[in-house]
Structure 1
Amino acid sequence: MFRLAEFRRDKKLTQKDVAEIFKCKQNNISIIENQKKDLTDAQLEALIVLYGDSVKSYIDDIDSVSIEKGRKHVVGDYLLPYYDVDITLGFDNIMNDQTTIPSYYLNIPAFKNCDCAVPVYGRSMTPDINDGSIVAIKEVSLDSVLPGEAYLIVTDEYRTVKYIRTCKGDPAKLRLVPKNLEEFDEMILDKSKIRKVFMVKGVITNKIL
């Protein structure tokens, strides 16, 4: 197993610090460090990010939990990380505390060019994107945004999925347009307020046929 406690102390972190990063109880960190609980691939990847290559060098010695070795048996040799973050299809204000630890991975070779997958909630993009669907996204620069395509827009106030269109007469602003215009209005957003933008490359719907 790993010398997790040693790696943690090298980073001058307490078990409480790591528990807050992992969003779990401190007792869980103690259990993991005492080798009483197997680590998931998501936890291993998070530890590599947190502790550095010193952890990664030990992973290859454990075939049953190695991320890299596990990926060799996946169709298309790719796993899409799924982050269980709050994404709204409306304009509700939410906390923008992006998680850094994937909840799990999706084996979808068609989305191999995407960065990750996230859930979306709300009715403003129905029927194109239903409430509770999962979207596969890829981060792009604001300058490369294609008018008419669906994007996840992240600001300091909210995250939302909308169609982006240009704002005539004002190149410093964008129109965020919902699909369900019967129930929802479009919004004008200043480009300077956008922290990140992700193109929606695919949708995994929960619609029952």
Structure 2
Amino acid sequence: MTENQRLKLLIDRLNFKTQKEFAESLNIQQGSLSDILRERIGISNAIKDRLFLKFNVNITWLEEGTGEPFLKKGPIISETKEGVPYFDISLSDTDTLLLEEDQADYFVNYKPFNDCTAYLPVYGDSMYPKYASGEIIAVREVTNYEVLQWGESYVVMADEKSNHMRSIKMIYEHADKSKLILRSSNPNFKGDTIIEKNSISSLYIIKGKITRNLI
């Protein structure tokens, strides 16, 4: 049985009367869901994120067929502003990271990270294995760039002076106090990036992640 076929089982397990209702709950088009169920396309990481967050779906079961379909407990999704907002965006697709609550896809009430600013999905492999594509990170905004935790991972958004960089990187101290060293955790992404502190438009420290094996 493929993961697409297992998704069809979830619709019945979750007691949705129609595929349209299920598609609406995941904020996707009914036609896209139909293509997935007919195995014309795969299940995206964004949809897997929503299945995990909204319905506690065990993604390992969905992908591999092992374990139980649902986790016993997990983050609680709220339609109201209870918890931390989740934004289903890719850093590479946005010029600025404006985390306005009104633009949130939904809110996640999960006590370990309720002091954070937002949840964001990870795209790309530059920070693997520390943060893998498909995982969800909890971030908190940093306003004082003079007090940073060296070696920790940050979401870095820079202006035109740094080519509008939008990335997740580990930050290290530079000999020049006006600059920062940015580094990937993936050894396949070699070489440091040096940026000026005053080119940073917004900065968020990563406080943790919600993984598929969290529970």
Q: Are the equivalent residues in 2 in contact too, given 1:87–1:160 (CA < 8 A)?
A: yes
Partner of 2:173: 166
Instruction: Note closer, same or farther for the CA distance 1:159–1:207 as it changes in structure 2 (3 Å cut).
Output: farther
What are structure 1's unaligned runs of at least 5 residues?
A: 1-64, 72-78
Q: Are the equivalent residues in 1 in contact too, given 2:97–2:202 (CA < 8 A)?
A: no
Q: Are the equivalent residues in 1 in contact too, given 2:155–2:169 (CA < 8 A)?
A: yes
Trace 1:6-85 onto structure 2 (pairs within 5 A). 67=80, 71=82, 79-85=83-89
3-state DSSP class of the match of 1:198? strand
TM-score, normalized by length of structure 2?
A: 0.54
- 1:185 corresponds to which of 191, 200, 211: 191
Trace 1:127-138 onto structure 2 (pairs within 5 A). 127-138=129-140
Q: Are the equivalent residues in 1 in contact too, given 2:135–2:211 (CA < 8 A)?
A: yes
Deviation per residue, 1:44-82 (Å, 9 max, x gap)? xxxxxxxxxxxxxxxxxxxxx9937xx4xxxxxxx1110
Deviation per residue, 1:69-121 (Å, 9 max, x gap)? xx4xxxxxxx1110122225xxxx85326363100111211101111111121
Q: Are the equivalent residues in 2 in contact too, given 1:120–1:132 (CA < 8 A)?
A: yes
Q: Does 2:152 match 1:149?
A: yes
Distance in 2 (CA, whole Å) between partners of 1:94 and 1:67 is: 25
3-state DSSP class of the match of 2:146? helix
Larger gyration radius, structure 1 or structure 2: 1
Instruction: Note closer, same or farther for the CA distance 1:144–1:67 as it changes in structure 2 (3 Å cut).
Output: same
After superposition, the CA RMSD in angstroms is: 2.5
Q: Are the equivalent residues in 2 in contact too, given 1:85–1:98 (CA < 8 A)?
A: no
3-state DSSP class of the match of 1:130? coil
* Identity within the alignment, %: 29
Paired AA for residue 96 in structure 2: N
TM-score, normalized by length of structure 1?
A: 0.56
Paired AA for residue 103 in structure 1: D
Partner of 1:32: none
3-state DSSP class of the match of 2:198? helix
Paired AA for residue 80 in structure 2: I
Paired AA for residue 88 in structure 2: D
Partner of 2:98: 98
